[in-house]
Structure 1
Amino acid sequence: MTVSALLLIDIQNDYFPSFTRAKMPLPHMDAASAQAAHLLAAARRSGTIVIHVKHVMASDAAPFFHPGTPGSELHESVAPQSEETVIEKTRPNSFVGTKLQELLREAQVEHLTICGAMSQMCIDATVRAAVDLGFKVTLAHDACAAATVEHDGVTASSDMVQAAIMAPLAASYAEVQRASECVARLQG
């Protein structure tokens, strides 16, 4: 039997438009977290390993996720239970500078279900790294949120960024599914 884990990445207050002091509100973050909460509940019911990843910026000059602030805290919709692991990271890739790979290997995890934010940064970096490390990955795309970005005078909406990230991940890295499909798989 394949051992699986659910990774909830950076579902933190600073990303939520509904959090009054949000420093980096993402469109669709509230909807994404609601889907992540469904995944989390299914993982808990099925006994799937749950790991929360929390981004804490190393510098006070960073635009968001300042250490010790309410904005850097994990959102209440996916609050960890005492037996669940919380890993803090300072880079987009959840494996860099953390014990994530070690914890997964010790638990003999082969498959990861991933959700969270931001799709174009920490989700993309972590999914690609996980596959490069030999894990099979399922990405719950509607339990992820992206930012609207601008480059060289071109603005890409969060919806366009989401599609531009999910399409190549689906082509070469992960099984990209709706959260409801992931829930059905977890419930087996």
Structure 2
Amino acid sequence: MKQTALLIVDFQNDYFSTFGGAKFELEGTENASNNASKILELFRKNQGNIIHVKHESPKGAPFFEIGTQGAEIHQSVQPQDNEIIITKNFPNSFKDTNLKEILDELDIKSLIIVGAMSHMCIDATIRAAKDFGYECTVISDATATRDLQFGDIVVPSKYVHAAFMAVLEFAYARIKTTSEILKGL
């Protein structure tokens, strides 16, 4: 576990239907974050490397507006004082952040990735991580997304999620469930 980091991406209030005033609700975020919290608990127990990634959007943005409660990290995976928090402004958690430098400083070789949205920030971050040479594992039931629309076609979130997990598994990451990863750590 020493050369592995848990990367928790964008589990922020605006994605949660249980957060009053959520501005961009996802399907299954509560279940996904509860699963992520189990992995987080194990990393904390074993003094593992934990990195929280938080997206901030400019004033007037539809969600994650800087300085709002909606942009705050959700209570289910709330960082502790000794845990690293990276603030990003793009889907790729590496773009214009010090994430790569932190991972290198910690001598991290592999990442376990949880968070949201499967089709956006999870996808972009994993592709970048793989390009940097990190071994990536995505926890499929600790990630979430939403329905997407293309023209007059609405793609249900479960199909969006499954398609992106399949694509990532094809060339970028191992895909595991929470129970599988907890047994293996």
User: Normalising by the residue count of structure 2, what TM-score does the alignment of the two structures yield?
Assistant: 0.98
Hey, what does 1:25 align to over in structure 2? Answer: 25
CA contact (8 A) 1:143 1:179 kept: yes
| Percent identity of equivalent pairs | 44
Cα drift, residue 154 of structure 1: 0.7
Provide the rounded CA distance (Å) in 2 between the counterparts of 1:110 and 1:14.
Answer: 31
The reply on whether 1:85 has 2:74 as its aligned counterpart is no
Matches for 1:156-175 after TM superposition, within 5 Å = 156-175=155-174
Report the CA distance between 1:2 and its aligned residue: 6.0
In the TM superposition, residue 61 of structure 1 has moved relative to its aligned partner by 3.0
Q: Structure 1 CA distance, aligned partners of 2:177 and 2:163? A: 16
1:85-164 mapped onto 2 (5 Å cutoff): 85-164=84-163
RMSD: 1.0
TM-score (norm 1): 0.96
Q: Which one-letter code corresponds to 2:17 in the other structure? A: P
- 1:48 deviates by 1.4
Which whole-Å deviations, capped at 9, do the CAs of 1:61-96 have from their partners, x for residues lacking one? 321000110000000000101000000000000000
Structure-2 residue corresponding to 1:64: 63
Task: Tell me by how many angstroms 1:159 deviates.
Answer: 0.4
CA-CA distance at 1:171 after TM superposition: 1.1
**Matched length:** 185
Q: Which amino acid aligns with 2:94?
A: F
- Contact 1:2–1:110 at 8 Å: present in 2 too? no
Task: State the Cα deviation string for residues 39-80 of structure 1 (Å, max 9, x = none).
Answer: 1001111221000000001x2232100011000000000010
CA distance in 2, matches of 1:152, 1:122: 22
